Amino acid sequence: MYRFRLLWTSLSPIKKINKVVPVFRSRPIPRFKYTTPVALSFSLFTWLGFQKKLSMEDELILTIKHCVLFIERGDYEKAEQLLHVALRQAQQFQHQLGITYIYDVMANLALERNQLDAAKQLFIAVTQRIMADGATEDDTRVVHISVKLARISHLKKDYQTAQIGYDWCIEKLKKALSNDPDIDILKLLSIAEDWYGRLFIECNQYEQGFKLMISALERMKQVPNVEQEHIVVQLNDIGTVSDLLGRTDESISYFQEAIQLGKKVENMELGAMYINLGRAYIKKNLLNEARKNCGYGWKLGVITKNDDVKKEAELCLNQIKNST
């Protein structure tokens, strides 16, 4: 199966996974973006049955494969150019399934590039093509796209429309999962719950957001071979929400778990997480532990040349100095 990077949970400009800067808990709303590792991206490739109808040697699928590789490398301009080549090939072959899949890849690329209006129109076109081919609104492929449309409304801050969309999709996915314990459905439900939880956080409804983010984390941990980057960032963000709810001991546990797991992930930036943990220790008046963690966060900021992390670490250290 060919996978490609897809926007996961974050809200500001996209950063590659090896340059992730997790949220700082001193901010009321998660600020930094991160992307989905390739193996966790979700597209219609499997649910369309695409690989069953095209061989690996087929000219069209080879072109699509190269498109996906460019997307994975972050070379979006080349990917977009090649996608138009692939679309012309599919239209020339009158390969309707190929056309649908290419539209889906284009839509996901537009979403990753934060081209929300273009992504919305492309996802609607994909839905129309699928339903014209006989799919109903309960079809997993339709729900799959509806989750992304809800996400687009969310990113456009049309919270009412997004909430209606998330509610509908989560209900459908839970029902589908009860009938078919499919890993792709489980992933999609986890993604939908995580996005929905962050909507509530943005609207200062922390308790409701916390519950959804916890549910998303528990589901994602059930996914075989899940990329640990996501678990690390989810743990850090849940620690952030725990702090916003005044649950300092819980936030410390989540930050510690995120750091311990993050140490096992190659190129995972942990400076901000150490600072988060340090600030939690300040609240507990454990200043030696706070100084150690904020100091190490500063060191990592220097090593990775991350000015944001260095600045936050310095603020943390000054706060400790003023508390003594």
pLDDT tens track for 80-127:
999 999 999 889 888 888 899 999 999 999 999 999 999 999 999 999
Q: Does 273 fall in a domain?
A: yes
Residue 18 included in any domain? no
256 burial type by CB count under 10 A (0-12 exposed, 13-18 middle, 19+ buried)? middle
CATH number reported for the structural domain that contains residue 317 in this entry: 1.25.40.10
Alpha helices in the chain (DSSP H): 59-72, 76-93, 96-112, 116-132, 140-155, 159-179, 183-202, 206-220, 228-244, 248-262, 271-283, 287-303, 307-323
Q: Encode pLDDT of 7-51 as tens digits.
A: 233 222 222 222 333 444 433 333 333 333 333 345 555 545 555
pTM: 0.82
Identify whether 242 is part of a domain: yes
Flag whether 190 is in a domain.
no
User: For the packed helices 228-244 and 183-202, what is the interaxial angle rounded to 10 degrees?
Assistant: 30
Q: What is d(CA 194, CA 213) in angstroms, rounded to the nearest whole number?
A: 5
| pLDDT score at 95 | 87
- Rounded to 5°, the CA angle 176-233-267 comes to 125
Please provide the average confidence, as pLDDT, over all residues in the chain. 84
pLDDT at 20: 34
Alpha carbon distance 232, 217 (integer Å) = 10
- Is 306 a member of any domain? yes
User: What would you report as the CA-atom Rg of the chain, rounded to the nearest whole angstrom?
Assistant: 21
Residue 5 reports pLDDT greater than 80 = no
DSSP state of 10: -
Is pLDDT larger for residue 158 or for residue 3?
158
Which tokens is 199 given? 């909507």
Q: Which residues contact 195 (CB under 8 A, 6 or more apart)?
A: 9, 147, 150, 151, 154, 166
Name the residue range of residue 302's domain: 32-37+227-324
CA proximity to 153, closest of 162, 143, 164, 165: 162
Distance CA(170)–CA(219), nearest Å, equals: 13
Q: Does residue 205 sit within a domain?
A: no
Residue 11 lies in a domain: no
Cα 83 to Cα 313: distance, rounded to the nearest angstrom:
43
Number of domains in the chain: 1
Residue 315 falls inside a structural domain = yes
Which residue is it, tokens 């499997």?
Answer: 46
